[in-house]
Chain A
């Protein structure tokens, strides 16, 4: 056997070669340098980038043996030990300072690629940075922040000066001490050094590897399942089928309709349905065992789209039929409304299935404990609900399972449904050994729920002066094989389908249909991404028809304080839409130098007349919180420790969106301490109270409030205790800059801890916060307790010869109530624009007759840094009184108007109306040729 002699991070190693081993496996598994990540194993995403002899390489396709005689540098090797302290490299420092670190999963690859660039080209400019980072993907996609970080690091390296902080991230207009100012993300440093641990980085003694045998047919009955050969394979510890399910068969988030494993005689509803699960000594053996499992089916006709699903006589996928829900919105009198209208327009739009494509594929580890309990390590958006779903299937009381939530390399709604949690629990329970189930990118693409594909018909009636009097929408949503959150998503799509406008007569009907496609569920935007595209396209069509300016039409009809929404909710505060519209319009005028009349006109490039530019405009709104009558509750603990530090705890999830930072800042503000004095613990069902799902842009509001009220309550307890002890009035106690001023002297919080415990009081508070109550759809009243509003404008360039579209600039204004964490907010705004851009231009999850075509990251393109437009972010703050310091949600709204802003711009440039996504350059080119008679 040959030997590999290589140097890694300045350490020499002599290792025996292993057949088939890649450099990524050698680094992660043998040397336990887990900072290098596997995002796709396809050399597409760059997460696995390391330097070999100074050059960036995709280690997932680099044979380990080729590294013989070479020098390898990984992220762990970048920071330098200086006088017994780890000193961050300027790149690491800059990524932290500039807010370029969100979920962190892509960051080691970004930093290593940038490091190689700056070594070769210390004066690299933006174009050179983009060229070098072309295939280092980021889904949180703060590409501008990444670029700025690299430029700042380059300058620091050239001058020897410290890294310059970002100067363009504005503070909140509300003048709080801590919240509303830029602070560094607490876990950013571990993310830039490679020390941050994600689930696949964990290894337990005696751990088995699991793989799942999936049906790979879209619709049929399982007639034969033979696992005997798999069981007999050496190294296989267990093979389980539906017969081995201890208690409940199905899981689900709202409706328990999703089989954990499909049994003999039972129905397979999509290609990703699980038939058997295998645990083996290595993942190779598990893979081999899965290949030995034989399955046969009685194939059934495939329901491939929601319109077909609703037809008479087609196969019914579920017992209750193919209709998941018929959602209705009724306001006013449609006949009257359309009769009043001077102009009526109608058009149908189509949006495709899309995938979250978070950089970190799903991973779960089940670890059985000697006392009979089971720990599950997983990156999940809903730890408590995972616990419920696992224990239901296992037939256990909930307390028997502990979900130990891990850092997530992105979620975006795609890590709410159960992925491997139940399967590893079953296997770990049977084998009494830890079991890891890691999805590869193909599993992830095929299995987990997607964004609903939709067909949306919009019919609008308006007066000549621009006032919209009637809006009718009919939506079909493809919820795929299982309900997941389909009911909620399509409800959201429907209730938002008339746009952020006050309209007297509104009618909407939505059919959320089961099909034999992969299930559709939560995905950032939650249905509103789709309906906003339809209604905002229609707004431009209406503006043209009426001869009214696109901005003016929207402004005239925009929701304001005092407006009644299409579900009958009167908005009493916090409606920043017109400010968003106005500030975006002004920014467009300023940036472009155009007059208001010329703003949306096409502009031909003189030196290249086949290139035409134009601006496009769109607005949107999105609820904060669950709404619809669902109790919206979060629990948070705040505790003071002996050393004077605080800890705030909740099971609310950090997906990379910055919730941990928000919780820290809120508690720091309340206790008047620097943020560093507050630690945050999240996502553990044993250690943290239930924070509810991290979805619906709700956590800043709900868990933020829980944190705030817990902190307030603790402070009140401290005040009461000190007032009693020192015999003074509570009002005489001042909290300032980390000290408590009592009777002329200052106490530290460590002193306070001593005082409280001496009095027999534990300085710890648990607060369960319930958001303002809402009403179900159809009952009038408040459907949601808060809405965020946004407007975006996009400048595009269309190539008339090829139909290619480039997005040059985006101006994005978001009404967030109050900016708690401006640096994190910047990342959400930039990332939202990029996700919207991908939704518009690059992403299509293709399924044909129920068979997944987009089963590799190579086939599902998400935007890279080369597509990044120049993004101008405008933060609008119309506070909502019930929100923590006035804050509402931002996670989703920032991604919604981008798509229609771009497609409206395309129309303004070349007169081609895009009513189907993603934008097809061939369609644009064809329409233009046909017009010219070619």
Chain B
């Protein structure tokens, strides 16, 4: 069985959407394809007829500042994001996550579009984007719309995007411009050297610092639930506070309360995750704080 019958290389979003609609059999968009092709090859995905390669669409491979956002096209290879000075300046958590996804060769084709469309609650790129509050631009035959990050996910592996009809075009990461404040972010993860290379736990923190207090903060932890988890209550506990022991302790309690840690067979028990999240969170928070100096 061939992995695909027809391979389309559209040069525009409109063309891409058109190919998806017009295909005589099941059609899917493909960017890096490192997950999709393996799923097809290993029989974990029903066969497709048409693959629509999105890596030739200029709008989707752009990486640039646009007004008050950093725009990252959905099919920019993550290795390019990791090396980009704009990303390095405005989205350190994303750069760090991009440098950890898979390995160097896969990073040369893997994309954030693919990462997010896969809708796994602990995907490294996804968790970083969650903390950075990225909004997604989604195109379909009906036109383009902006979707807040959380709305992209329905459950583990269940994307709100209908891949047979819709395409994530790019991500807008808001760049804050607070007066006399400094912004930074950080991403880290804990792995196991055996078995499938999925993180036991990962964590991204974005914050803005005003004098000695956290003016604003976003915390994402994966896997912390069926969809990428924002620790909103922990964020409240730290907002406006200096990152001292007392505030951190309350934030961690709130996080443990709010997050839904599950046992992943052969990877980590819920208990283990509960025990180690504090150390990981503290490390990421302290690093982001120091960066915002």
Which residues from chain A sit less than 8 Å from chain B, CB to CB?
Answer: 2, 17, 19-20, 22, 41-43, 46, 49, 52, 55-58, 61-63, 65-66, 68, 113, 131-136, 284, 287-288, 610, 801-802, 804, 841-844, 846, 856, 858-861, 867, 918, 921-922, 925-926, 929, 934
Q: Which A residue sits closest to B282, measured CB to CB? A: A801
Is B34 engaged at the interface, CB distance under 8 Å to the other chain?
yes
Of A42, A801, A804, which one neighbours B38 at CB under 8 angstroms?
Answer: A42
Say yes or no: A801 contacts B276, CB within 8 Å. yes
User: Could you tell me the distance between the alpha carbons of A50 and B12 in the complex, rounded to whole angstroms?
Assistant: 28
CB within 8 Å: A-B pair count: 116
Of B79, B197, B272, which one neighbours A925 at CB under 8 angstroms?
Answer: B272
Of A61, A284, A860, which one neighbours B33 at CB under 8 angstroms?
Answer: A61
Is B146 engaged at the interface, CB distance under 8 Å to the other chain?
no
Say yes or no: A43 contacts B30, CB within 8 Å. no
Say yes or no: B104 contacts A135, CB within 8 Å. yes
Known: A63-B30, A131-B104, A135-B105. A55 touches B7 (CB 8 A): no
Say yes or no: A20 contacts B33, CB within 8 Å. no
Q: What's the least CB distance linking B43 to chain A, in Å?
A: 10
Contacts of A61 on B, CB cut-off 8 Å? 33-34, 37-38, 109
Q: Which B residue sits closest to A842, measured CB to CB? A: B193
Known: A55-B79, A56-B105, A859-B195. A63 touches B7 (CB 8 A): yes
Contacts of A46 on B, CB cut-off 8 Å? 103, 105
Say yes or no: B1 contacts A284, CB within 8 Å. yes
Contacts of A288 on B, CB cut-off 8 Å? 1
Contacts of A58 on B, CB cut-off 8 Å? 34, 105-106, 109
Known: A134-B104, A922-B269. A62 touches B195 (CB 8 A): no
Say yes or no: B4 contacts A20, CB within 8 Å. yes
Q: What's the least CB distance linking B60 to chain A, in Å?
A: 14
Known: A56-B104, A57-B108. A802 touches B279 (CB 8 A): yes
Contacts of B269 on A, CB cut-off 8 Å? 922
Of B9, B190, B271, which one neighbours A65 at CB under 8 angstroms?
Answer: B9
User: Could you tell me the distance between the alpha carbons of A41 and B30 in the complex, rounded to whole angstroms?
Assistant: 18
Of A52, A113, A861, which one neighbours B197 at CB under 8 angstroms?
Answer: A861
Q: What's the least CB distance linking A160 to chain B, in Å?
A: 28
Q: What's the least CB distance linking A772 to chain B, in Å?
A: 42
Q: Which B residue sits closest to A1, measured CB to CB? A: B6
User: Could you tell me the distance between the alpha carbons of A43 and B106 in the complex, rounded to whole angstroms?
Assistant: 7
13 pairs from A and B in contact (CB 8 Å cutoff): A19-B4, A43-B105, A46-B103, A66-B9, A133-B104, A134-B103, A136-B105, A284-B2, A843-B194, A859-B195, A859-B196, A867-B193, A925-B272
Contacts of B106 on A, CB cut-off 8 Å? 43, 58, 135
Q: What's the least CB distance linking B123 to chain A, in Å?
A: 15
Is B268 engaged at the interface, CB distance under 8 Å to the other chain?
yes
Contacts of B33 on A, CB cut-off 8 Å? 61, 63
Q: Which A residue sits closest to B198, measured CB to CB? A: A858
Q: Which B residue sits closest to A838, measured CB to CB? A: B193
User: Could you tell me the distance between the alpha carbons of A132 and B37 in the complex, rounded to whole angstroms?
Assistant: 23
Contacts of B7 on A, CB cut-off 8 Å? 2, 17, 19, 63, 65-66
**What are the interface flags for B23-44 relative to A under an 8 Å C-beta threshold, 1 for contact and 0 otherwise?**
0000000100110011001100
Q: What's the least CB distance linking B9 to chain A, in Å?
A: 7
Q: Which B residue sits closest to A131, measured CB to CB? A: B104
Q: What's the least CB distance linking B116 to chain A, in Å?
A: 19
Is B182 engaged at the interface, CB distance under 8 Å to the other chain?
no
Contacts of B109 on A, CB cut-off 8 Å? 57-58, 61-62
Is B154 engaged at the interface, CB distance under 8 Å to the other chain?
no
Which of A288, A842, A934 has most chain B Cβ within 10 Å?
Answer: A842
Is B235 engaged at the interface, CB distance under 8 Å to the other chain?
no
Q: Which B residue sits closest to A56, measured CB to CB? A: B105
Classify chain B's interface size: 35 or more
User: Could you tell me the distance between the alpha carbons of A65 and B6 in the complex, rounded to whole angstroms?
Assistant: 10
Say yes or no: B55 contacts A66, CB within 8 Å. yes
User: Could you tell me the distance between the alpha carbons of A815 and B289 in the complex, rounded to whole angstroms?
Assistant: 53
Is B45 engaged at the interface, CB distance under 8 Å to the other chain?
no
Q: Which B residue sits closest to A855, measured CB to CB? A: B42
Is B192 engaged at the interface, CB distance under 8 Å to the other chain?
yes
Q: Which B residue sits closest to A53, measured CB to CB? A: B108
Say yes or no: B190 contacts A804, CB within 8 Å. yes
Q: What's the least CB distance linking B223 to chain A, in Å?
A: 16
Known: A17-B7, A802-B279, A844-B194. A63 touches B2 (CB 8 A): no
Q: What's the least CB distance linking A794 to chain B, in Å?
A: 15
Contacts of A860 on B, CB cut-off 8 Å? 195
Say yes or no: B2 contacts A20, CB within 8 Å. yes
Q: What's the least CB distance linking B111 to chain A, in Å?
A: 13
Q: Which B residue sits closest to A288, measured CB to CB? A: B1
- Which 8 pairs from chain A and chain B are nearest by CB? A135-B103, A20-B2, A20-B3, A801-B279, A65-B7, A19-B2, A842-B193, A55-B108
Is B176 engaged at the interface, CB distance under 8 Å to the other chain?
no
Known: A2-B7, A284-B2. A925 touches B108 (CB 8 A): no
Q: What's the least CB distance linking B280 to chain A, in Å?
A: 8
Say yes or no: A57 contacts B2, CB within 8 Å. no
Contacts of A802 on B, CB cut-off 8 Å? 190, 276, 279
Which of B4, B195, B196 has most chain A Cβ within 10 Å?
Answer: B195
Is B151 engaged at the interface, CB distance under 8 Å to the other chain?
no
CB within 8 Å of A: which B46-97 residues:
51, 53, 55, 79
Which of B4, B42, B109 has most chain A Cβ within 10 Å?
Answer: B109
User: Could you tell me the distance between the alpha carbons of A842 and B272 in the complex, rounded to whole angstroms?
Assistant: 19
User: Could you tell me the distance between the alpha carbons of A288 and B5 in the complex, rounded to whole angstroms?
Assistant: 16
Known: A19-B4, A63-B7, A856-B42. A929 touches B194 (CB 8 A): no
Contacts of A57 on B, CB cut-off 8 Å? 105, 108-109
Q: Which B residue sits closest to A46, measured CB to CB? A: B105
Q: Which B residue sits closest to A4, measured CB to CB? A: B7
User: Could you tell me the distance between the alpha carbons of A2 and B195 in the complex, rounded to whole angstroms?
Assistant: 40
Known: A63-B53, A801-B279. A43 touches B38 (CB 8 A): yes
Q: Which A residue sits closest to B99, measured CB to CB? A: A131
Contacts of A63 on B, CB cut-off 8 Å? 4, 7, 30, 33, 37, 51, 53
Say yes or no: A934 contacts B275, CB within 8 Å. yes
User: Could you tell me the distance between the alpha carbons of A856 and B38 in the complex, rounded to whole angstroms?
Assistant: 11
User: Could you tell me the distance between the alpha carbons of A715 and B276 in the complex, rounded to whole angstroms?
Assistant: 70
Of B38, B108, B272, which one neighbours A922 at CB under 8 angstroms?
Answer: B272
User: Could you tell me the distance between the alpha carbons of A19 and B25 in the complex, rounded to whole angstroms?
Assistant: 14
Say yes or no: B105 contacts A929, CB within 8 Å. no
Say yes or no: B266 contacts A846, CB within 8 Å. yes
- Sample of 12 further A-B pairs with CB below 8 A, known A2-B7, A841-B193, A922-B269: A43-B105, A61-B37, A65-B9, A66-B7, A132-B104, A610-B279, A844-B194, A859-B195, A861-B194, A861-B195, A925-B272, A926-B275
CB within 8 Å of A: which B246-293 residues:
266, 268-269, 271-272, 275-276, 279
User: Could you tell me the distance between the alpha carbons of A132 and B271 in the complex, rounded to whole angstroms?
Assistant: 35
User: Could you tell me the distance between the alpha carbons of A2 and B19 in the complex, rounded to whole angstroms?
Assistant: 15
Q: Which B residue sits closest to A843, measured CB to CB? A: B194
Contacts of B275 on A, CB cut-off 8 Å? 925-926, 929, 934
Is B102 engaged at the interface, CB distance under 8 Å to the other chain?
yes
Of B5, B272, B279, which one neighbours A20 at CB under 8 angstroms?
Answer: B5
Q: Which A residue sits closest to B43, measured CB to CB? A: A291
User: Could you tell me the distance between the alpha carbons of A801 and B3 in the complex, rounded to whole angstroms?
Assistant: 45
Contacts of A41 on B, CB cut-off 8 Å? 41
Say yes or no: B276 contacts A926, CB within 8 Å. no
Q: What's the least CB distance linking B262 to chain A, in Å?
A: 14
Q: Which B residue sits closest to A20, measured CB to CB? A: B2
User: Could you tell me the distance between the alpha carbons of A165 and B85 in the complex, rounded to whole angstroms?
Assistant: 38
Q: What's the least CB distance linking B195 to chain A, in Å?
A: 6
Q: What's the least CB distance linking A39 to chain B, in Å?
A: 13
